[in-house]
Amino acid sequence: MTSLQQAQEPNRGAHPTLDDLRAEALEAGRRPRRYGTWYATEHMLRAMRAYGWTILVGALAQPLVYLFGLAVGLAALIRQEIPAGDGSTVSYLVFVAPALLMTATIAVASEEFTYPVMAGFKWRRYFYGFNASALSSPQIANGVAVAASARMLFAGAAYYAFIWAFGAVFPLVTVPAPATGWISVPIGLLAGLAFGMPLMAYAASLEQDKGQFALVQRFVFMPMFLFSGTFYPLWTLPVWLQWIGWISPLWHATELGRMTTFGAPIDPVMLAVHLGYLVVLAGGGYLLARRIFTRRLAK
């Protein structure tokens, strides 16, 4: 080894070679590809901080107001017990509480899968910025869905805590002991996704805001809320109105929620129908949303 080589030998570790720099750059590029969904999720969650107080008040104050109104107000007028199947009855508050939990998660879906999606494509156009990086279009769609799911879980958990505190988690055959009531929270998440994924696909397809989301609130969400067995059993409605409940993810989720919170009996076939319907809506809507995200971001 020459004297020049000996002088350079101690400094080899201090100066990375071109191959080292190339390998580092490739790894830096692979990381967003590997964790792109979580990068997009992080952005959407950070964006929620702009209306964080709205999220907090909606998740905590709304169930308190609804449940106080039902437990102290409306339930005081409706003294009649509600049939729960197999000859059993429950109080009006116990009957309505699971439906309110499902409604809360669907309401969150109606917010997070509408204007934030249009903002990403039209107003702020940050989806195009994501797509110009190493993030893929499906990862961007995944990030929107995961961030909205986190908010839905928070809202559902808060609602469940309140209905448990109000004594609305009540198995029919035992003293209050919510052994399965907590399952209503993931059911609420599934309900939110069943409503939100098709809505996300619709929002992603819109080129202009012409009041479409207001129409969705008035002519989809509100009829679903009023005519899906939320405040009374669906079978008490005229047959010509019951179809709204049959196609509504809210009714299917509410029936599952009542099974878990107070033990309402469900036929195994109907149990499969309720779950299958929600899964098909959520899965089909997700696949359609991914396709639309990919098509629009490729322009």
Considering only CA atoms, which of 147, 190, 173, 203 is closest in space to residue 264? 173
DSSP 89: E
Question: Each residue of 43-73: pLDDT tens digit?
Answer: 999 999 888 888 888 888 888 787 777 766 7
Task: Give dist(CA 94, CA 145) in Å, integer.
Answer: 31
Number of Cβ within 10 Å of residue 178's Cβ equals 18
**Bridge partners of 90?**
82
Report pTM.
Answer: 0.85
Q: How far is CA 77 from CA 24, 70, 231, in A?
A: 70, 10, 14
Question: Each residue of 11-50: pLDDT tens digit?
Answer: 455 577 766 656 565 565 566 667 889 999 999 999 998 8
Q: N- to C-terminal Cα distance for the chain?
A: 59
| Furthest C-alpha separation in the chain | 100
